[in-house]
Structure 1
């Protein structure tokens, strides 16, 4: 089963290597990983997606909690939470296809971040991972030049935050 794990870590040199090394040493795969500092720049938040049964995920959480720079770990997969990813895609356009690409972008509330109606457009989408997969499929007929995307960011719903206590 797919699990989304949020981790608060001290924002210091080598933390990402230590977390990735923990997974590598135990033969676990990181499907996606996003890291960014919080408002308190001494702390970063990681959102990590991995695959495993409950026993494996419990082991991962225990091992993560043993790492010195790790402050807090939570598997939000079974909690009511939101996940969003971002996709940037460069598509071919010409005078006869630019309107259709713009209509497509509007359908999914995309931002046009670079517009050259005689050659290409770069569109930015934010949505669930499944919807981003659908968007990529639906853009194929236009001609995808290049695409890049994040893994999902996750956050529990409700008024309580995942913060340093």
Structure 2
């Protein structure tokens, strides 16, 4: 008998999720969270961390990750079990939220390529923060897709280097998430 093996979870849809994790601001917390992801083979697409209280006791970690819904549920449950974690919120599941990313984009070029870089920067509302006769460094902020599009277009005009901050995100509305 020649039976075909069926995948355990056939054709699972991979979804992008933005997670907000409120933690104690202490040494080793980030390593615990990153360790949780790496030990289970989960990928982190974006990671940002910032102190969010006056007394420096609490930090918010914003993680962008992708996976099937069951994997996202596992990630949420495992993060919630870590001792220094106060709250885990899936901003994607919560509903409308604001996401922004900042990038510095270095572009080299003279003549027509230089003019095109300035024209594209104007369209994307990127501003030059450093200029020389041979290059620009542009600052752009917005959604990750906007930053991606800008970088893609700059490749054609003389992209040299990119530095990105990662996603910062927050739920919309008057209440804290």
TM-score, reference length from structure 2: 0.84
Equivalent in 73, 88, 91 of residue 76 of structure 1 = 91
Equivalent in 111, 115, 120 of residue 104 of structure 1 = 120
5 Å-filtered alignment, 1:3-82, equals 3-40=17-54, 41-78=56-93, 79-82=95-98
Tell me how large the CA RMSD over aligned residues is: 1.5
CA deviation vs aligned residue, 1:6-28 (integer Å, no higher than 9, x gap): 00111110001000111112221
Gaps of 5+ in 2: 1-14
* DSSP 3-state at the match of 2:92: coil
Counterpart Cα distance in 2 of 1:96 and 1:26: 49
Offset at 1:96? 4.8
Counterpart Cα distance in 2 of 1:101 and 1:134: 13
TM-score, reference length from structure 1: 0.90
Report runs of 4+ in structure 1 exceeding 3 Å deviation.
Answer: 95-100
Aligned to 1:155: 170
Contact 2:103-2:141 at 8 Å conserved across structures: yes
Offset at 1:54? 2.0
Whose radius of gyration is greater, 1 or 2? 2
Number of aligned positions between the proteins? 161
* DSSP 3-state at the match of 2:45: strand
Gaps of 5+ in 1: none
Aligned to 1:86: 102
Counterpart Cα distance in 2 of 1:133 and 1:17: 28
Counterpart Cα distance in 1 of 2:91 and 2:169: 8
